[in-house]
Amino acid sequence: MTPLEGTLVVFVFVTAVATALFRDVLSAIIVFAAYSLGMAILYTVLLAPDVAMTEAAIGAGVTSILLLLTIAKTSRPASDDLFEEIHVPGLIAVSALALVLLTTVPDAPAVGDPAAPVWSNPDVTQYYIQHTYDDTGVQNAVTAVLAAYRGFDTFGEAVVVFAAGMATLLVLNREVFA
Amino acid sequence: MIDTLTPVATPVLAGLADVTFAPALVETFLTRYAYATVFVLLSIGLYMMIASPNLVKKVIGMNLFQTAVFLFFVATAYVEGGGSPVVPTEATPGELAVASPLPHVIVLTAIVVGISLTAVGLALIIRIYTEYGTMNEETLREVRIDE
């Protein structure tokens, strides 16, 4: 873990805790946008610039706008306290889950280990890295997989977005059948 | 025996169950820091979904949960000392040290599905607010019992 990664991990942890604890929804949304931005930088450090750009645009951008629109259309409960009170049963349940999940960490390969199965597998990752340009003529392997190898998945994704748009309009009674 | 390295510290450390265990565990977690971060952030998101009475904050918690899972995928794709997944044009024999593109692609898909989910969830919240005049889970439950 480099100092930059350590700083980012601390930053996302602090902003996540602040998001959970702020009673005022507007404060939580703003801190969550900062969290998303920190997460986007962490993705960049972990060599995922495509994911980072999408996270910065959608996570920090569009999600924040949707959340702000929602509290503009509804109400923002008047907050007398700065922080929410701790929900003890929820905290116990979630801590138990976190402990169980953390016991699996020592069995995972180290972050960035070239021998890790995800990266070293000759039939999957190494195949795509070595054949992408010959197969598709695209240098960005992420674009190549998204648009060429897994084009149908991306089409399905577009269907999901369309369905979500339709559902949103129907729920909000904004559909016009004229 | 005679060549005991730290005779002063030994009685103190002897009280601990395993002297070499603790630093090794810290080292283990430092090299796998991303996974530990994922599990902690995921738990914070789940806590928000359980504990917060405000529906908008539950949606924020769901988004927090999602970004934690995205970090898991991105961390598995990372390779130390590599580059971002851009391959050179000329045929290169042997292994290229670039991050695995496949987890990145699945995360891109998941981000888009996640924003769709958020949009529908928030639309439902607005509808609930116009019908019942509240976004608080407990108040909503009381209102629905009274009906």
Looking at residue A43, what is its pLDDT? 95
- A5 and A50 co-located in one domain: yes
**Full DSSP string of chain B:** -TT-S-TTHHHHHHTSS-TTHHHHHHHHHHHTHHHHHHHHHHHHHHHHHHH--BHHHHHHHHHHHHHHHHHHHHHHH-BTT-B-SB--SS---S---B--HHHHHHHHHHHHHHHHHHHHHHHHHHHHHHHHS--BHHHHHHHHHH-
Residues of chain A with confidence (pLDDT) below 50: none
Q: What confidence tens digit (pLDDT) does each residue in B34-50 have?
A: 999 999 999 999 999 99
- A103 and A124 co-located in one domain: no
The model's pTM is 0.88
| ipTM value | 0.93
Nearest-by-CA chain B residue for A3? B30
Residue with the two structure tokens 């730290």: B6
Looking at residue B28, what is its pLDDT? 87
Determine how many CB atoms are found less than 10 A away from the CB of residue A176: 5
**Closest CA relative to residue B33, chosen from A154, A102, A64:** A102
Q: What kind and span of H or E run contains A174?
A: none
Domain boundary among the residues A108, A133, A151 is at A108
To the nearest 10 degrees (0 to 180), the angle between helices B33-51 and A88-102 is 160
Cβ distance B127 to A172 less than 8 Å, yes or no, reads yes
Task: Map out the domains of chain B with their CATH numbers.
Answer: 9-146 (1.10.287.3510)
Looking at residue A46, what is its pLDDT? 93
- Residues of chain A in contact with residue B139, where contact means CB-CB under 8 angstroms, are none
Please tell me the distance in Å from A178's CA to the nearest CA on chain B.
23
Looking at residue A175, what is its pLDDT? 61
Residues of chain B with confidence (pLDDT) below 70: 1-21, 90-95
- Give the residue numbers spanning the domain of A33: 1-108
Cβ neighbors of B89 (< 8 A, separation 6 or more) are: A133, A139
Mutate to test the interface with A, among B27, B41, B125 (most CBs of A within 10 A): B41
Looking at residue B6, what is its pLDDT? 46
- A173 and A102 co-located in one domain: no
